[in-house]
Structure 1
Amino acid sequence: MKFATTLIPGLVVVDVERREDARGFFGRSFCAEEFARAGLDARVAQCSVSHNAKRGTLRGMHWQAEPHAEAKLVRCTAGAIFDVALDLRPDSPTFRKWVGFELTADNHRALYIPPGFGHGFQTLADNSEVYYQMSVPYVPEASRGARWNDPSFAIRWPVADPVVSERDAGYADFAA
């Protein structure tokens, strides 16, 4: 695997290091030892999958509050998404800053999102599927969210008029 830092400390792009031949390629998408050597939380307590029928579907921005804050490894296993990580660590120099990456079934890229970040994505193709590995189990009482179009973040989503749940559309403006 190849680990690439981003403009926001702690947020890491993970690429599969391919071993190719006439059959195609083989590569590891996760290795606890390599993650630990890279300083990333390698615990996997829960895995989830999200299927999204329509292009433009937007899910986010979500996170779990302390003491249940989670690290996530996010990968697109079918279709394509624009994946966004939002720094919500109050003491961070990049507090309220976001970055987005295109994750596709073809590029096999993943995004490691550390605790203290909000996460969301928008599908770029019909029938997109997203696979998540989380460091801690989901705790409903710790679930938090910010509105996908909150002006304090000014996230530039690629598809106009997104398909958004009532819950995601109904979050109040973010208050630190």
Structure 2
Amino acid sequence: MTALPAPKVQSPPRRRLSPAERERDIVAGAVAFFAEHGFDGATRDLARRLGITQPLLYRYFPGKDALLDRVYQEVLGDAAFVARPHVGMGVTKAAADAAALVSALDDGSDVEAALAAFEARRLSFGRAVVQRARHLGAYMQAQILDADERARAERHRRPEAVMSETAVATGIAA
């Protein structure tokens, strides 16, 4: 008896995703990937797992840091933008976030729209606070940074320079 050839299984045609759907898929896949491999996991391996090319991944996220920021935001929500203690922005940021949320809710839109408006107003500020924290904290690890960061770290070696940028929103480009 001769065996019959196995029937060919055709996978359904892939639907082209909208940019928003593709971004959501990338973020969801990145959350799972980094949970499994840690933050040292290679974006090349992530792209392969997602069935996309690495250049497509970088079209949505210009670098691994941008992707990781989005993963933090996805997993932690606004807690991803809690100011580190040496920035002294916790209360300042919390008060401004509360005012922005009240304003968004007062606009009369539904809760989902209000939260989207709040996020649009506060997300860039949260990122800027984190960047400020990185700059102020750079003096602690100046030996491993690039020349630009070493120069910023040198500027913050004096306590007066650190204090002039602690617990103030002035100069945070959001």
Query: What TM-score, normalized to structure 1?
Result: 0.24
Higher-Rg member (1/2)? 2
> As a proportion of its length, which structure holds more helix?
2
> As a proportion of its length, which structure holds more strand?
1
**Larger RCO, structure (CA 8 Å, separation 6 or more):** 1
